[in-house]
Amino acid sequence: MKTIFEAAGGADGLRRLAGAWHRRVMADQVVAHAFSHGFHPEHTERLAAYWVEALGGPTAYSDSYGDETSVVRIHSGNGKHEEMDRRAIVCFDQALADVGLANDPALRQALHDYFAWATTHSMARYYRSAEDVPNGLSIPRWSWDGLQS
């Protein structure tokens, strides 16, 4: 059975998805606020590398950029932002359609479930302070059955 990474078109498919999602969130007045103070010039590439690793591909993000701790710290200490999270998930679902990944119901559902979990759990867990994020976290891996232990 293919991994989600493979079913999504590998690194190229996830780069297209990251680009489509980034365009969608930048056009959303609520979600775009998260980027209002700037973002890394390689944000889309880094995001794609993170998804590659999380969805069953090679350790592209960990090998080049850092671990889960560094990612979660970037997203932490900003208070609760449930509306922004909901809208980011809607943008993700729209991006899936934009790049043709919504045509396969099982793939669409697996990708949606992963992104919704990552957005509302992993990235939102330390909303009080980035200093609360423990060192040494590994990028969570997601499969057709959900979060892998």
Domain count, the chain: 1
What pLDDT does 121 receive? Answer: 84
Tens-binned pLDDT, residue by residue, of the chain (149 aa): 899 999 999 999 999 999 999 999 999 988 887 776 767 788 899 999 999 999 999 998 999 999 988 877 876 656 577 888 899 999 999 999 999 999 999 999 999 999 999 988 887 776 777 787 789 888 999 999 999 98
Res 129: pLDDT: 79
Bridge partner list, 142: 147
* pLDDT at 126 (0 to 100): 65
* Domain assignment of residue 28, given as a range: 4-147
The length of the chain in residues reads 149
- What's the pLDDT at 106? 97
CB atoms under 10 Å from CB of 54, counted, come to 25
pLDDT at position 39: 73
Detail the DSSP E strand segments found in 57-99. none
Model pLDDT, residue 117: 93
pLDDT value of residue 134: 86
For residue 146, which of 120, 112, 123 has the smallest C-alpha distance?
Answer: 112
pLDDT of residue 105: 97
pLDDT at 32: 82
CATH, residue 35? 1.10.490.10
Q: What is the pLDDT of residue 146?
A: 97
End-to-end alpha carbon distance in the chain:
19
Task: Give the DSSP H or E segment for 72.
Answer: helix 68-74
